[in-house]
């Protein structure tokens, strides 16, 4: 809102307006969104284009190029002991990790929103069931259970995606439930009920569109967690099978070697993970600042 927009001249200067808390908050959230998008973009764009870029084969290496350090000719990030280009492995591995991450959050978002809205709207035993399930899942040792399940059903992309989705559904569910509880009391819902709309219809066509922006931001933030979880599982050996690279798998393979000088196998994939996750988190945080209704201090 610029001074020129005001009809009457005011003692409030443009400068004062621009340094107000609200303006600064808006500016900061924009900065966060941009920085986040750039960080995430640096990782996501090459990963998505990995099949198209002129990269060496991530699976077949040239043995005589074993363990070259970064900035070697032809290998920007170096090679692993099998002579495979690290940059290529990171980008191709990123595809696997991202696919798993995106599928997992879509799944957990769906489950979470459905469960949360049903629990919030219907209340009663549905609410009790969902709330108990949420509590129970919070008290289980997560990583342990995930390792067990992967050991049971095998480390395939499907299993790992399902496992991560199940690990993450509580957050969107809890948020959805809280938001639906509030929305439920609003007049437009009463109006819809009076009009004779059936309850599922009300939830789907009226309530959910109103809470969707906030929930979507939270689900988006889960992508970061999903990528971290996938790499943690790979690191502990429960990831997707070789020789196809995954970020956690590359780090796990490089673990015994970094001490003797082959540091790039452990640090560089981690940088990729960190950049992506920081980017997603920043982006999500900035979006959340925009979308959150200002919590009025009472």
Say how many residues make up the chain: 298
Residue 185 to residues 121, 180, 191, 296, Cα–Cα distance (Å): 10, 9, 11, 19
Exactly one of 1, 18, 25, 199 binds another protein (CB under 8 A); which one? 25
267 binds another protein (CB under 8 A): yes
143 binds another protein (CB under 8 A): yes
190 binds another protein (CB under 8 A): no
Strand partners, 85: 79
204 binds another protein (CB under 8 A): no
**Residue labelled with tokens 């673990």:** 255
HSE-CB of 151 using CA atoms within 13 angstroms: 8
Per the CB < 8 A criterion, the answer to whether 61 and 81 are in contact is no
Residue 253 tokens, joined: 């393979």
Closest distance of CB 4 from another protein, Å: 24
95 binds another protein (CB under 8 A): no
- Please give the Cα distance from 90 to 272 (Å, whole number): 8
Exactly one of 12, 45, 140, 191 binds another protein (CB under 8 A); which one? 140
Closest distance of CB 235 from another protein, Å: 5
Strand partners, 72: 75
Residue 257 tokens, joined: 């070697």
Exactly one of 7, 52, 152, 195 binds another protein (CB under 8 A); which one? 152
- Please give the Cα distance from 148 to 142 (Å, whole number): 10
16 binds another protein (CB under 8 A): no
HSE-CB of 205 using CA atoms within 13 angstroms: 9
**Cβ contacts of residue 221 below 8 Å, gap of 6+?**
280, 281, 284, 285, 288
- Please give the Cα distance from 49 to 41 (Å, whole number): 12
Nearer to another protein, 165 or 224 (CB): 224
298 binds another protein (CB under 8 A): yes
Exactly one of 37, 127, 197, 258 binds another protein (CB under 8 A); which one? 258
Residue 253's CB is within 10 A of a number of other CB atoms, namely 20
Exactly one of 51, 213, 237, 292 binds another protein (CB under 8 A); which one? 237
Closest distance of CB 151 from another protein, Å: 5
60 binds another protein (CB under 8 A): yes
232 binds another protein (CB under 8 A): yes
Nearer to another protein, 9 or 261 (CB): 261
169 binds another protein (CB under 8 A): no
Q: With contacts defined by CB under 8 A, name the span among 68-76, 114-122, 196-204, 281-289 that binds another protein.
A: 281-289
Closest distance of CB 131 from another protein, Å: 8
199 binds another protein (CB under 8 A): no
Classify residue 79 by its DSSP letter. Answer: B
- Please give the Cα distance from 280 to 219 (Å, whole number): 11
Nearer to another protein, 176 or 192 (CB): 176
- Please give the Cα distance from 248 to 265 (Å, whole number): 11
Residues that bind another protein (CB under 8 A): 21, 24-25, 28, 31-32, 35, 59-61, 63-64, 66, 80-83, 135-136, 139-145, 147-149, 151-152, 155, 224, 228, 231-232, 235-237, 241-243, 251, 253, 255-263, 266-267, 270, 273-274, 277-278, 280-282, 285, 295, 297-298
């Amino acid at each position: 809102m610029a001074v020129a927009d005001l009809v009457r001249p005011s003692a409030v200067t443009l400068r004062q307006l621009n340094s107000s808390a609200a303006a600064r908050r808006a500016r900061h959230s924009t900065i966060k969104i941009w920085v986040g998008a750039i960080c995430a973009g640096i990782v996501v764009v090459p990963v998505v284009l990995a099949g198209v870029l002129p990269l060496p084969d991530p699976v077949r290496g040239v043995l005589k190029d074993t363990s070259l350090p970064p900035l070697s000719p032809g290998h920007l990030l170096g090679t692993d002991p099998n002579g495979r280009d690290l940059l290529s492995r990171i980008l191709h591995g990123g595809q696997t990790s991202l696919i798993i991450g995106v599928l997992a959050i879509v799944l957990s978002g769906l489950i979470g929103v459905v469960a949360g809205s049903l629990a919030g709207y219907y209340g009663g035993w549905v609410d009790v069931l969902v709330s108990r399930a949420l509590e129970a899942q919070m008290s289980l040792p997560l990583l342990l259970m995930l390792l067990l399940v992967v050991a049971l059903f095998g480390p395939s992309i499907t299993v790992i995606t399902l496992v991560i989705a199940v690990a993450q559904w509580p957050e969107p569910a809890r948020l959805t439930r809280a938001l639906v509880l509030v929305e439920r009391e609003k007049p437009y819902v009463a109006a819809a009920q009076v009009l004779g709309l059936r309850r599922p219809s009300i939830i789907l066509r009226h309530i959910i569109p109103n809470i969707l922006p906030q929930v979507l931001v939270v689900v988006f933030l889960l992508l970061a967690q999903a990528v971290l979880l996938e790499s943690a599982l790979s690191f502990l050996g429960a990831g997707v099978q070789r020789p196809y690279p995954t970020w956690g798998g590359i780090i796990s393979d490089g673990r015994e070697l970094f001490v003797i000088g082959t540091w790039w196998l452990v640090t560089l994939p981690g940088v990729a993970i960190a950049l992506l996750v920081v980017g997603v988190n920043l982006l999500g945080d900035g979006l959340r600042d925009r979308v959150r209704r200002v919590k009025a201090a009472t």
